[in-house]
Amino acid sequence: MFKNILIPVDGSPNGLAAVRYGIWFAKKFKATLTGLNVVDIVALEGPFLHDLSGSLGFEPYLNFSAKMREMLENKGDELLKNFGLQCKDERIKSETVLAFGIITNEIVEKARVSDLVIIGRRGVNYQFESGLLGSIAEGVIRKSPKPILIVPNEFKEISKPLLVYDGSVNASKAMKSAAEISKTLKLSLTVLVVTSKDVAGEKIVSEARDYLSPYRLNVEVVERTGSPPDEILAYYEDNGHDLILTGITSHSRIVEMVLGSTTEFVLRNVDCPVFLER
């Protein structure tokens, strides 16, 4: 299922956890890992650089940008070297890519030839960001053409996956991934269906049971009524799941610009990996 897994490598705690999750998935799925480090041209060419050079006593015309580029390139090379050595120690096939550009765009572009992107919830600049979801992760979620696994800063082997299914197209894609992952990992799968009081959930529950039946998994389908974000969080907290799989929800035509309210709520309030399909 996952034969090519992409991992942005930035040396942050969440980034290091993403590598560990990537190695774990690669072993289970016999996949190749690609480590990607991006030298951010925004940091090199934006007004921030000139402000920084002024504060350090440099004139902005004294090739400070070239010095910064060299420093970031050397750091990227070192991070990717360590990534390659770690994969070699774990006997995982790997490759590394050092790119130059806008970080989110470079990750999304490389994702086009990958099966899965594993990325930390927050990156190396986490101290400058607000909330629990970093700007790079959020940008990748909005634009990635492939599934994304958002991970916390501590690795834990997955043993109890939870699929959130609402009958939407993206949720149907997540259900296929959940079935394949559960089958490969030899795990039971819980399916949570949350409906409002005026929407019957029987059809959605039946869809899930019928689709998953040929996979011969141990499946439990649970139906709840109420607000999807609240019910998902409550069920997750009460039952100790360590992976949530769901489709990205959207209630707007400008999908590239906004995350669905349920998706965003889940990402900001759980501390386990979240697998997203779009």
Domain coordinates in residue numbering, the chain:
4-151, 161-277
149 DSSP assignment: E
Per-residue pLDDT tens digits for 148-169: 999 999 999 999 999 999 999 9
In 3D space, the residue among 159, 32, 164, 43 whose CA is nearest the CA of residue 87 turns out to be 32
C-alpha 35/C-alpha 246 separation (Å) is 25
pLDDT at 256: 37
Per-residue pLDDT tens digits for 94-129: 999 999 999 999 999 999 999 999 999 865 544 434
What phi and psi, each to the nearest 5 degrees, are found at residue 189? -130, 130
Task: Output the CA torsion 193→276→248→166 (10° steps).
Answer: -20
pLDDT at 45: 63
**Beta strands, E only, the chain:** 4-8, 32-40, 94-101, 116-120, 148-151, 161-164, 189-195, 219-225, 243-247, 274-277
- Tell me what the mean pLDDT of segment 167-179 comes to: 95
Q: Kindly report which listed range (38-47, 102-111, 207-216) carries the lowest average pLDDT score.
A: 38-47
Equal CATH topology for 4-151 and 161-277: yes
Q: Are 134 and 207 in contact (CB under 8 A)?
A: no
17 pLDDT higher than 80 = yes
Q: What is the pTM of this model?
A: 0.86
Calculate the alpha carbon distances from 6 to 107, 119, 239 in Å.
8, 8, 30
Domain spanning 161-277, CATH class = alpha beta
pLDDT at 265: 85
Q: Are 174 and 244 in contact (CB under 8 A)?
A: no
68 pLDDT higher than 90 = no
Q: To 5 degrees, how large is the angle CA 212–CA 214–CA 219?
A: 40
pLDDT at 116: 98
- Tell me what the mean pLDDT of segment 193-199 comes to: 77
Beta bridge partners of 172: none
Fold adopted by 4-151: Rossmann fold (3.40.50)
pLDDT at 119: 96
